[in-house]
A = this chain, B = another copy of it.
Amino acid sequence: MLFATRSVLPSLSRHVSAALRSSTPLPQPSQTSFTLSLRTMSNVVPGVTPDAPAPSAVSNRPEVKRDAHPFSRGQLEGLMTKRFFYIQAFEIYGGVGGLYDYGPTGAALQANIINQWRNHFIIEEEMLELDTTIMTLADVLKTSGHVDKFADWMCKDTKNGEIFRADHLVEGVLEARLEGDKQARAKEAGETVAVPAEAAGGDEKKSKKKKVKSSAVKLDDALVEEYTSTLAQIDNFDGKQLGELIRKYEIRSPESGNEVSEPIEFNLMFESSIGPTGQVKGYLRPETAQGHFVNFQRLLEFNNGRVPFASAQIGKSFRNEISPRAGLLRVREFTMAEIEHFVDPEDKNHERFDEVKDIKVPLLAKDVQESGKTDITIKTIGEAVSAGIIDNQTLGYFIGRIYLFLVKIGIDATRLRFRQHMSNEMAHYASDCWDAEIHTSYGWIECVGCADRSAYDLTVHSKRTKKDLVVQKAHKEPKVYDAWVPTIVKKNIGPKFKKDAKLVEEAILEMNQKQLEELQSKLKNGSAPLSVCTGQTFELTTDVVTVEMKTIRETVREFTPNVIEPSFGIGRIFYSLLEHSFWTRAEDQDRGVLSLPPLVAPIKALIVPISSNEKLAPLVKQVSRKLRSAGVASRVDDSNASIGRRYARNDELGTPFACTLDFASLSKGTMTLRERDSTAQRIGAIDQVIDVIRQLCDGSLDWEKACKILPEYSGQQDVDA
């Protein structure tokens, strides 16, 4: 379980999907109405109750009926390609699974999300930003545990060599069999059913899921139950158990029908070699976190030796997935934003806790899950920390800040929850861990992890490098106490233990009070045996070491800080935001709209000259210049398409506002302002409209207030319908 909690993205494979399948009722992908599924899930998806704080990004939007048509993932994906938000990388070469390129709209949206993140966290909280290398020395990742444990199980088709992720294979085959059973039963009952079966596959040249064909074979009722129960736990099996399932259920390669090998571990890091000798091994980092830890001492110095402080980093990380799937949700290269907040383990209070303590957040605590339920409780962060549900103030503070960030950029607060890791999910060293999960058509997706990682990381790096990664904090009053203190007789220990002297010395210095007391008592009686880390035993005598009770006057306390780590998967937030923003017009299901908040919309304002008449050109340039100096990113669309088509295209691009210039603009200096979601149009003097747009974009004005400033437009050229 070590790496499940290590960072936000690695854990999808095992835990999010586990959470998805085990107990949460899931909306069906794509074909099923999302709106419908939400309705049936009222006990799972918390509504924004009257008590909950109004999520600003949502309430700022005009009231528009967005659920006339069910959500269609296929339609959203089509839009993403058509408007070049993102596409599979190396498309003209046939594409590579798990690698995606962001086009102009996607890159701008991503840059805006990152920019908001930087403002919300780094600037607002004066974090120390880092930019550390992607190429990482293997030693570092050996120490962190990634070399040994950051792996998935795979098995091979014994004849054609095709490779499968073992859990995906079992899952795909069992799901197909259940599907076949459903079909057979439907046939018996005289119905017709045609639902696509689930995927299994391991081809890295294709992003499309390989589907396991299902044939209408009826299963025993007991077997159906067994399969269902196995699927619910699929993420909890290790390689040996997966191998047993494969043999027990006679699972074979779905396409060839050949037998598959025993599952073997496949490390998920991309490996390379640094320099020409081939002797310095490197990996592409699987997370940015290690770059913070190895620089801890420099960061501490920069912060004048004081904790708490936080470092932050935004950058690419890599994970060589066996079989990438679910679009942007499980990829081989992704952007992360990670914070490592270093804190005194004896004081995890947070200076600014008061600012978040009254925020109400939807929580799914571990005890609820452990009792087999998924009911969400809405609590203020202050209550949750007081009640011990959230372990400490700092963790609570970040949960609050994460909530505010996600809602600010446009995540629907009613489809957001914080799920606590259960004891068996959490790494042994972690003291508490909460994931911000966002609901999408794939189910609940872990998008942000927020873990208290205790002193684990700094301790292992310090041990490996023999560098002190500690904080020294002056006591307000010196502490005076008695303690056993060993004194090593340097001039004797060397000659006596020769090459082992250092080992012996280290072992003595690592002894705790109880051990020292014992040593003292044994030494008094002659000699004492000492086991060192290599397993050897040495005999100690008073000529090499003595132990005495001394009075210690401690002015400084030295400790390894604990780390609280909020870790964001930017690509997952990006995708979830797109799902939450996408809907189709009630009057025309083919007209998609992306209701992105102005804060993150790729382009804030579209400038539309009503015709290609040359007289309008200078005015178009002028408005464009004015918007730019007001800090509003805008685009001109002077194509020949009808004005309605141009509006529709920009609805798909998520552009919140459009300024339309017509001949009245020339004669009267007016301009109309169209709002994307409502398609409402207002009118005003050009400079006034620009000022309103500026305020709408920086959040100082909402649409309702804007309507009070600008009167409704009901001119002839209302061609929007």
Contact = CB atoms under 8 A, between A and B. Distances in A.
Given A93-B140, A204-B277, A280-B96, A129 B101 contact: no
A465 B90 CA distance: 10
A270 B332 contact: no
A130 B103 CA distance: 5
B129 A301 contact: no
A294 B90 contact: yes
A668 interface: no
A295 B91 contact: yes
B204 A274 contact: yes
Interface stretch (A66-74, A131-139, A370-378): A131-139
B333 A135 contact: yes
Interface string A103-123: 110111011000000100001
A202 B107 CA distance: 39
Interface in A57-82: none
Interface in A253-269: 266
- Could you tell me the dominant secondary structure of chain A's interface residues? mixed
A87 B130 contact: no
A134 B135 CA distance: 12
Nearest to A130: B107
Nearest to A464: B93
B134 A134 contact: yes
A229 interface: no
Within the oligomer, what is the number of copies of this chain? Answer: 2
Interface in A126-161: 126, 128-137, 139-140, 154, 161
A103 B154 CA distance: 39
A137 B107 contact: no
Interface in A198-212: 202, 204-205
Contact of A639 (B101, B106, B304): B304
A601 to B, nearest CB: 14
Interface in A179-221: 202, 204-205
B276 A266 contact: yes
B205 A280 contact: yes
Interface in A290-311: 291, 294-295, 297-299, 301-302, 304, 311
B322 A84 contact: no
A282 B318 CA distance: 13
Contacts of A204: 274-277, 280
Contact of A131 (B110, B132, B139, B266): B110
B302 A104 contact: yes
Nearest to A311: B104
**Most chain B beta-carbon contacts within 10 A, residue among A139, A270, A633:** A270
B133 A103 contact: no
B270 A135 contact: yes
A504 interface: no
B294 A140 contact: no
Contacts of A277: 161, 163, 202, 204
Contacts of A123: 628, 633
A222 interface: no
Contact of A322 (B103, B275, B316): B275
Contacts of A318: 135
Given A87-B298, A91-B294, A467-B92, A272 B270 contact: yes
A703 interface: no
**Most chain B beta-carbon contacts within 10 A, residue among A83, A87, A298, A316:** A298
A279 to B, nearest CB: 9
A102 interface: yes
Given A204-B280, A301-B84, A89 B133 contact: yes
Contacts of A275: 97-98, 163, 202, 204, 320-322
Top 7 nearest A-B pairs (CB, nearest first) are A204-B275, A104-B128, A102-B131, A101-B132, A107-B129, A107-B131, A92-B465
Interface of A: 83-84, 87, 89-93, 96-104, 106-108, 110-111, 118, 123, 126, 128-137, 139-140, 154, 161, 163, 202, 204-205, 266, 270-277, 280, 282, 284, 291, 294-295, 297-299, 301-302, 304, 311, 315-316, 318, 320-322, 332-333, 461, 465, 467, 469, 628, 633, 635, 639
Given A84-B301, A126-B635, A154-B276, 13 more contacts: A92-B294, A92-B461, A93-B137, A93-B139, A96-B280, A98-B275, A101-B295, A123-B628, A135-B284, A163-B277, A270-B282, A272-B272, A274-B320
30 contacts: A83-B302, A84-B302, A90-B294, A91-B294, A91-B295, A91-B298, A92-B461, A92-B469, A96-B280, A100-B133, A101-B131, A101-B132, A103-B295, A103-B298, A103-B299, A104-B311, A107-B129, A108-B129, A126-B635, A135-B318, A135-B333, A154-B276, A161-B277, A163-B275, A204-B280, A270-B272, A273-B320, A274-B332, A275-B321, A275-B322
